[in-house]
Amino acid sequence: MFASCTDPAALGDLHWLVCYLTTAKHLSFYASFGTVLLLLAVTAPAALALGFAGAVAARSRVLLLSWLGKGYIALVRGVPDIAFFLFFVIALDQGVEYLRHVWLCPDWSEPIRQGSDFRVCPPAKAPLGNAPQWVHEVYGFALAVFTFALVFGAFAANVLFGAMRAVPRAQMETAEAYGMTPRQSFRRILVPQMWVYALPGLSNLWMVLIKATPLLFLLGVEDIVYWARELGGTKTPQFTDYPHGDWRMWYFLFLLVFYLAFTRLSEIVLDRVMARLTKGQATLGGDAQRKAAA
């Protein structure tokens, strides 16, 4: 905040607005956009890696691996996202603390479940109660990233599994006829070509992931939705030196513009990626490019 903002009552309208938009809480609001972008930057490759592993497992000739891959896809896709987020984060957090409790406090005699409470010994808390605030924030964000990656990894696995099956079998047979091993044909023929079939589904999944970022608010992470609700609500002098009415509509309108602009930018980038992938490929996209060039 600027030094001239010490007395809000003496400020003019424009100066008041500038001071209001540069308070510490607004700086946290602006930083929360970085939190959302960081979530997307970390979750997208993690979900894609989980999805690729799930798709490879689902098409495996080993029955156990195939069951695991298909079970992962079916289980996560069959549960509503919000229910999975609310359940899994709590279960994961308590699971981590339980394992730490068993390891660090083997002589603990009190029951862990005490009615509706879950109590472990103090050293088993994750993170520790006396840990700095940034440790708690990083831990909560890591839980959120893992949960997002697990959920969207299942959808990515379903898309990639279908894309692998869409690659013409004749190409795999040709690779075998040239003496390639199954591993070589998978790496050199199947994987490079499956992305053409997978990208439309993955593009849609990326858009869904962008729209799902407000679920961070439900996971206890102070994201842009949290700060928009807090800053936009009616404020009183007891809460802040800048009291105002209910401005939530304007804050959420700003979020609407942000998400629309971000999705539009994503569409432009994904269209260019699709054009690059389909260039020279024996697909409808590649055929359309050849006809346009002619």
Domain at 79, CATH number: 1.10.3720.10
- How many structural domains compose the chain? 1
Written as six digits, the tokens of 21 are 């938009």
Highest-confidence segment of 12-21, 82-91, 189-198: 189-198
Q: 204, 226, 180, 176: which is closest to 270 by C-alpha?
A: 204
Rg of the chain, C-alpha, whole Å: 25
Domain assignment of residue 216, yes or no? no
**Residue 159 pLDDT > 90:** yes
Q: What is the mean pLDDT of residues 139-149?
A: 87
Please say if the pLDDT value at position 18 is more than 60: yes
The whole-number pLDDT of residue 61 equals 87
pLDDT at residue 267, rounded to an integer: 92
What is the distance between the alpha carbons of residues 74 and 158, in angstroms, rounded to a whole number? 9
- Look at residue 247 and tell me if it is in a domain: yes
Assigned domain for 135 exists = yes
The model's confidence at residue 73, banded by pLDDT at 50, 70 and 90, is: very high
Conformation bin of residue 202: beta by default, left when phi > 0, alpha when psi is -120 to 50? alpha
Q: Above 70 in pLDDT, residue 237?
A: no
Domain of 194? Answer: 3-211+223-293
Q: Which of 3-7, 18-22, 179-183 shows the highest mean pLDDT? A: 179-183
Over residues 174-193, the mean pLDDT reads: 86
Q: Is residue 27 domain-resident?
A: yes
pLDDT digits (tens, 9 = 90+) for 30-60: 888 998 999 999 999 999 999 999 999 998 8
Predicted pLDDT at 256: 92
Residue 8's pLDDT band (cuts 50, 70, 90): low
Please indicate, yes or no, if residue 165 is contained in any of the structural domains. Answer: yes
Predicted local distance difference test score (pLDDT) of residue 9: 67
Residue 217, domain member (yes or no) = no
User: Quick check: 159 and 202 in contact, CB under 8 A?
Assistant: yes
Within a domain: residue 273?
yes
Within a domain: 262 = yes
**pTM of the entire predicted model:** 0.79
What 181-187 contacts at long range (C-beta under 8 Å, 24+ apart), as own/partner pairs, is none
Answer yes or no: is pLDDT of 6 > 80: no
What is the predicted pLDDT for the residue at 294?
A: 52
